[in-house]
Chains A and B, each alone.
Chain A
C-alpha cells in the first residue's frame, strides 16, 4: 500500500488461507479495492515446477487465470471507487443493547465479544461498581492496542471501556488496576500469527496479597478469583478493545492455544525466594514495594521433575536439548524448593544462575549447523573452532549456547542486550517441579498508577 501511495501500481499476491485477513486489512487501511491476487495454500513447500504451474492456473478466489489477473491488477484502468478519498469512521455498534439476559449472553458470544464462556452482563450498575476500583476518570484514554502492531490498526479505549470488559470477565473492582495496567501496555493477549502465541501475566509486589492472588499450590490452575479473572479480562478486552482474536482476520494461529483463556495469570512467590534472589520486578528496575504486572510472550511450557542430578545441572541439560518455536530465549518457573536447591549449589542470585546456564548449555549438532552455511564451509576448510565442532559428529552437543544474548534485528547498536533466560519463582512446595518454556519477557508495568 505504501508503494501505491507513491504512485506505483501494485499487484499483491497472497495465499488463499489469508483471504479474509488480506481483504479486511486492506479495507481497514483505506484501500478496500486493493487488487489482491490469490494462490493456493500453502506455497512454501511447493517445488519450483509446481509454483510455475500455479502461475498457469487460476486464482482460487476469483476463478480468473492467474497471471493475466496479475497483469490486469497493474494495467487495468482504475474505477471511480478505487480513486475515492475521504474519511470513514467505522462503527462498532450502539452504546447499549437491550434484550433478555439469555439472549444477550448468546449475542455477546455470537459476536465474538467473549471467550465463549458465560460472562457477567455489563449493566450500567455493574460497570459503575467496577469503576470504584480505580481513581482514574472513566473517560481517560488508557492506551492503544492492535492485534499485531504494524499489521493492523490500533484501537484506543477508555477506563470505562476497560471496566466494561472487566465486568464481563467476572472481575472484582479491586482487580481493575491490574487489568488497566495490562490494557495500558497495548499488548494484546491474542497476538495475530499463524503460530498460536500465548502470554503470561505475572504480578509482583504488595498488590498480590491485597487482592489475595494465588502464588502457592496450583498458582497456575483454576483455584483463585484474582488469577482467573484478571487473566480472563485481558483476553476479553483484547478482542473488544484491540480487535484481536477474529479467526481468519486478526487471528491465524493454526492450532490455537488453551493458554489464551487466562494467560497463565499468576503472582511470584516472593516470600520464598532464596536469600539474595530478587523478585522479578526488582530485576527489571522496580522497587520491592512497587506492584507491577509483567508480560511474557511465547508458546509452550514443559513440566519437569527428575531426581537424578542437581537441579542446576538438570536445567542446564534441558536447555541444551530443549527445542521449540522460539529457539533463543526461555523462561524458567521454579518451585521454591527447586530455587532453594539451586541456591544451595552456590547460585546466590538469578543473575549468577543465568550466567552459568549461558556459559554451560550447548546446542545439538543437528540444530547448530542449521542456518550456519558459512561456518560449515569454514569447518570443511579446517577453520577453527568450526572444524573441531564438525569432527564431533552429528549426535554431539556443540559447546555454544543458544541463549547468548543478542540484539533483535533492527535494534539500535547501543541498546541493552535482551535477557534470554528469565527466572521466576512460584509454586506451593509440594514437590520439586519446575517449568521451562519458550517465553520471553516483553514489559513490566506499574499497577500502582492505576489504583
Chain B
C-alpha cells in the first residue's frame, strides 16, 4: 500500500512541512469533514488532543565519501532473525566490497533501549553503522 506521508504526519499532529525542514505551525485539521446530516444547527466543541513536545530537528551525520578500507558496524536490536540477516550483509560485503571490514554487535536494551557503550565503540572504531530491526 502506498503511504501518504502528508496524511500520516498530519495524524501525528506533525506538520508535513517538517519534511521540508520548514519549522512552521501547521494546522492539520481546520474543519470537520463534510459528512453526515446537515439538518441541525451548528455547535462548538473542544479539541480533545494533548500537547505534543516540540521537535528539535537533528542534523544527520556527514556521510563518508566511500567505504574502502573502512569499518562498518552491523547492529541488531535483538529482534529474532536480525542477527542472521546482518550476517548475510557481512557475506555480501565480503563478496562485493571486500575492502570493507564489518563487525557485528547486538545492541543492549531491546528495541527502544539506549546503548551508550556500543555507540562509543562505534564512534571510536567505525565509519558507519547498518542497523537491522523489525520482524
Contact = CB atoms under 8 A, between A and B. Distances in A.
Interface of A: 1-15, 17-20, 23-24, 27-35, 39, 41-46, 48, 51-52, 54-55, 67, 70-71, 74-78, 80-108, 110-113, 121-124, 127, 145, 148-151, 153-158, 161, 164-165, 168, 194, 236-237, 240-243, 246, 248-250, 410
A113 B41 CA distance: 22
B15 A90 contact: yes
Contacts of B49: 92-93, 113, 161, 240-241
Interface in B1-53: 3, 5, 8-9, 11-15, 17-21, 23-53
A95 B91 CA distance: 55
Given A24-B8, A51-B88, A96-B45, A88 B18 contact: yes
B32 A106 contact: yes
B47 A41 contact: no
A408 to B, nearest CB: 11
Given A87-B55, A241-B49, A123 B43 contact: yes
Nearest to B79: A44
Contacts of B88: 48, 51-52, 54-55
Given A3-B129, A7-B61, A84-B57, A14 B134 contact: yes
A88 B134 CA distance: 28
A20 B8 contact: yes
Contacts of A10: 61, 128-131
Contact of B53 (A78, A123, A155, A240): A155
A322 B124 CA distance: 48
Contact of B63 (A76, A90, A246): A76
Range, interface on chain B: 35 or more
Given A75-B63, A83-B60, A164-B47, 4 more contacts: A5-B61, A43-B135, A157-B50, A410-B113
B50 A240 contact: yes
A2 B38 CA distance: 51
Nearest to B82: A43
Contacts, number: 352
B67 A90 contact: no
Contacts of A242: 50
Contacts of A94: 27, 29-30, 47
B81 A44 contact: yes
Residue among B19, B30, B49, B80 having the largest count of chain A Cβ atoms under 10 Å: B49
Contacts of B126: 8
A93 B15 contact: no
> Lowest 10 CB-CB distances: which A-B pairs, in order?
A107-B32, A150-B112, A241-B50, A15-B134, A102-B36, A92-B49, A84-B21, A157-B50, A44-B81, A102-B37
Given A102-B36, A106-B33, A110-B33, A5 B131 contact: no
Contacts of A71: 67, 97
Contact of B65 (A3, A29, A30, A75): A75
23 contacts: A3-B119, A7-B123, A27-B9, A27-B18, A30-B55, A33-B19, A43-B134, A43-B135, A48-B84, A74-B63, A74-B129, A81-B19, A86-B56, A86-B57, A89-B23, A96-B46, A98-B44, A102-B40, A122-B45, A151-B111, A161-B49, A168-B48, A246-B11
